[in-house]
A and B are shown apart, each in its own frame.
Chain A
Amino acid sequence: MSVDTGSRSDPSAGLPEDARQWTAKLRNSATGKLPPGRLLPDRQPAYVASWIYVFGVLTVSALLLVIATGCVLALKGPAWWHVSSAGLFVNSLHLWSVEAFFFFMVIHLWGKFFMAAWRGRRRLTWVTGVVAFLVSVGAAFTGYLSQQNFDSQWISTQAKDGINATGAGAFFNVLNFGQMLMWHIVLLPMVVALLAVVHVLLVRTRGVVPPFAAPPGRQDGMARTGGSEPSVEGDRA
């Protein structure tokens, strides 16, 4: 294969002869599913007109605050908040971010359920959302275990019975502070963040779920082409 860089005007041109590369395939697949205009659209369907729709972004914002405040706590280590008023304040920010996160996430779940948001090949969006919720419960649980105070003593000695009964206690020891802390600050946040990213990208890929059809007898202006990608055709009266 000749290497003649002079004849190639743009290295990212995506020349046909490179199409079989894994890089090219990945790029084409990603940009095909999510071209820039779909990844960051500046228009939404007209039916997206309710305050219920803001709870997804509120949940993501709360998650970012949980992570940011967690990072600040990590700067000074797990014992900092017991001996410093600044540390206690950051711990408070972390706790209330978590409360806000669950508050907004559950309202988001209620809204999406009553909108049957899984319709039209959006089932994976629903599934990733539920799994993210469950993993978040786990992340919060390991957080409570990492407090190194009376609360974590009680929670760990109680929770051990439930977890031991399932057999998971053989390798997930809630009384082991070191292990629980690492699950809390490394493993579980990574999974929550990954699920959140996949979930949001799925929403961008499929678009926000359209409403149920209007009651029978009416023309609702929506083409029955179920299963096809939503087309962004701009305004149409």
Chain B
Amino acid sequence: MLLVSSVMGALVDLNGKGRYVHWGFIQISVANLVVIALMAIVFIGAIIVPYRRHGDR
């Protein structure tokens, strides 16, 4: 039996049964999917969001 040490101080307990997405031959954890989706969003955002400097019109 697997013993999981108590997670002290975590507001959101990510231990426990992992959630996975099965898509064709691809299997990916929801956690990893979230990270990758965030990366794509941040990347696109970094390119699209205007960059303003001091003194710009």
Contacts and interface: CB of A to CB of B under 8 A. Distances in A.
Touch A–B, Cβ below 8 Å? yes
B51 A51 contact: yes
Interface range for B? 10 to 19
Given A85-B8, A88-B8, A52 B35 contact: no
Interface in A72-129: 82, 85, 88-89, 99, 103, 106-107, 110-111
Given A82-B5, A85-B8, A85-B9, A55 B39 contact: no
A44 B35 CA distance: 32
Interface in B8-57: 8-9, 35, 38-39, 42-43, 45-47, 49, 51, 53
A51 B46 contact: yes
B1 interface: no
Given A52-B46, A107-B42, A89 B51 contact: no
Contacts of A88: 7-9
Nearest to B8: A85
Interface string A46-71: 00011111110000000000000000
